[in-house]
Chains A and B, each alone.
Chain A
Amino acid sequence: MANFSSIVLLSLYVSGSALLIASLIGLPIGASLALKPPRAHKIIELIIYTGMGLPPVVVGLFVYLLISRSGPLGWLGWLFTPTAMIAAQVIIALPLVIGLTLTAVQSVDPQLRLQVRSLGASPAQVMRTILWEARLGVVAALLTAYGRLAAEVGAVMLVGGNIQGSTRVLTTSIVLETRQGNFELALALGGVLIVLTFMANFFLVRLSGQTRG
């Protein structure tokens, strides 16, 4: 049971940390891109939208090559650690957070931006205000990113190694238990994963509902 709870906690820690880091980087980038004239960021937008469809296993491979002992970042000693799993998941989540934030902020009435500036807002105040106005879309961006991270298996398997008591998370456990024929346990773990995702969605939707209006 202790082993089971450590798997659940590690899953939450890895995906939650990755989402937090990707949000801290991605929200301001997505908002500032949306507030610039469209022609200024068409190419960047294209790259971001391509990144949104990046296969996690390919991201895992890149991160693996970067942090493996002979890789350029091998000196960090991150391979087969939760830190490596978080790093890979940040790369997976970042284009999603940036791209969906960009879309959410772009959907805010352009005249509102002009009005906010006319009322004396600094560029940072404009960004904060428009992000707040786009909060439902931003929450949807975070939910989508969390859903992708919680369900992700390829990257965490490659860079984490699925080591018991160290880097084993719910998705990698399900793969392992299925391979070993422990279908009941695999199904139970799958159920826990779905419940956790539901709870995260419920929390974020409630949060956005409370702050609406």
Chain B
Amino acid sequence: MADLYQLANLQKIYLDRTVVTIDSLSIQRGEFLAIVGPSGAGKSTLLRLLNFLEAPTSGHLTFDGQPVPSAPPLSLVRRVTTVFQRPALLSRSVRENVAFGLRLRGLHPDGAVTQALERVGLAGLGTVTATTLSGGEMQRVALARALVLNPDVLLLDEPTANLDPYNVNLIETLVREETSRRGTTIVFVTHNVFQARRLAHRVGLMLNGALIELAPTVDFFDSPRDPRTAAFVKGEMVY
């Protein structure tokens, strides 16, 4: 698989605090990469950098073979989208929420919206105000809103935290399908090491903004090279 992202000596600094510092990271086209680590490790900041919502303070970030400028064009930003832990929905109907990204692009394909709602099991709730749904349903709306865009890269920032097993299973199934059917590149941030093991091709551990270890899933869990990875995987790391 060819590299879609390449990060080299990348740093993100807020005021005088370094939140992300990555010496080297390549993300391959079509791969499912999970990033695990404690809160405050810089995982969400890394996703914002990968979505081009923030520019790195220093270092190199290339996407699809091209260096990413500090003010990336909209056409580039629109190839990537994020589903956050808390589904930030608009106070509009479920259908309008799902159609939102398409409308931003000047498109009005009602069929795609209907199909996306069917995929997440919310076909009957299209006219309901999105912010009145349950937590699991809201997150499924957020996922449908991202999937309907057919992005090259789907970034997921702990999308199943605080959800019940039914919704966790549904969302996991949908994102797994997205990689296998469409070849969408997925970067999935999670606290849950079991979830990372179930879903990802490769897993990376972030601590204090740095990528401590990145390895194929089996190696990451069965034969970690770094003692901190071993401690994290075994649940011995207190954070």
User: Does A121 have its Cβ within 8 Å of any Cβ on chain B?
Assistant: yes
Give the complex CA separation of A119 and B101 in angstroms: 5
Chain B interface residue count, Cβ-Cβ cutoff 8 angstroms: 26
Contact of A118 with B81 in the complex, beta carbons under 8 Å: yes
Residues in B with CB closer than 8 Å to A125 are: 104
Chain A interface residue count, Cβ-Cβ cutoff 8 angstroms: 18
Contact of B92 with A111 in the complex, beta carbons under 8 Å: no
Give the complex CA separation of A133 and B48 in angstroms: 23
Q: Shortest beta-carbon distance, A110 to chain B, in Å? A: 9
User: Does B232 have its Cβ within 8 Å of any Cβ on chain A?
Assistant: no
Residues in B with CB closer than 8 Å to A53 are: none
Contact of A111 with B86 in the complex, beta carbons under 8 Å: yes
Q: Report the number of A-B residue pairs with Cβ-Cβ less than 8 Å.
A: 52
B interface, by DSSP: helix, strand, loop or mixed? mixed
User: Does A206 have its Cβ within 8 Å of any Cβ on chain B?
Assistant: no
User: Does A68 have its Cβ within 8 Å of any Cβ on chain B?
Assistant: no
Q: Could you tell me which residues of chain B, from 129 to 165, have a CB within 8 Å of some CB in chain A?
A: 129, 142, 145-146, 149, 155
Give the complex CA separation of A83 and B101 in angstroms: 43
The 7 closest A-B pairs by CB, nearest first: A120-B78, A115-B88, A119-B101, A112-B88, A118-B82, A213-B129, A111-B88
16 pairs, A vs B, C-beta closer than 8 Å: A114-B48, A114-B84, A115-B84, A115-B142, A116-B100, A117-B53, A118-B82, A119-B100, A119-B101, A120-B78, A122-B104, A125-B104, A132-B90, A133-B90, A213-B92, A213-B93
A contacts, CB < 8 Å to B: 109, 111-112, 114-122, 125, 129, 132-133, 212-213
